[in-house]
Structure 1
């Protein structure tokens, strides 16, 4: 205790800096600051755990961080592991030049401002 504030010294970490013990009612604020804020970066569980544990301590820290990160709607929506898998198209690699030729077919196109048109018969 130091002036009514509880600190913890971690014997297993090389740093001699104390960790501030966070009460239950402030845990979500700390998690939001380190994960959801513009400077937080929406990092994963291990990275957020590393950042928070360098300064703070609270019981069940890993479990609380995992629950917060897994419940983050932005992470669920935008992280690459949550996207649809790639399609089944398999493009073989050619062994020599001009082995494969491809043509894009589209049209008819509208007339240009100068009146030029695509002629589908040519």
Structure 2
């Protein structure tokens, strides 16, 4: 019997060590944002039933305007993450549907 998987993609971090004009998770790599590459990978898997993207409240407008249609297409639940990664994961765990058996936690800045 296959397991139902949820993917939590953590993208709420400030990206201060990166030092760019834009947060690392939002830079383009070959025409697509780094975080979107991870979203697409998980969303296209048959066993992944839920994709949750944790962002900073400061990024709500950027994410909604620039990538909102993509995220809706992939049925991604966007939520506000916390100050630390464990806060973001904790918030995401509260949003899981009852049919989820396994959870994958992925850093949005790590392209798949």
* TM-score category (smaller protein): under 0.3
What TM-score comes out, normalization by structure 1 length?
A: 0.26
* TM norm structure 2: 0.28
More strand by share: 2
Q: Considering only CA atoms, is the larger Rg found in Structure 1 or Structure 2?
A: 1
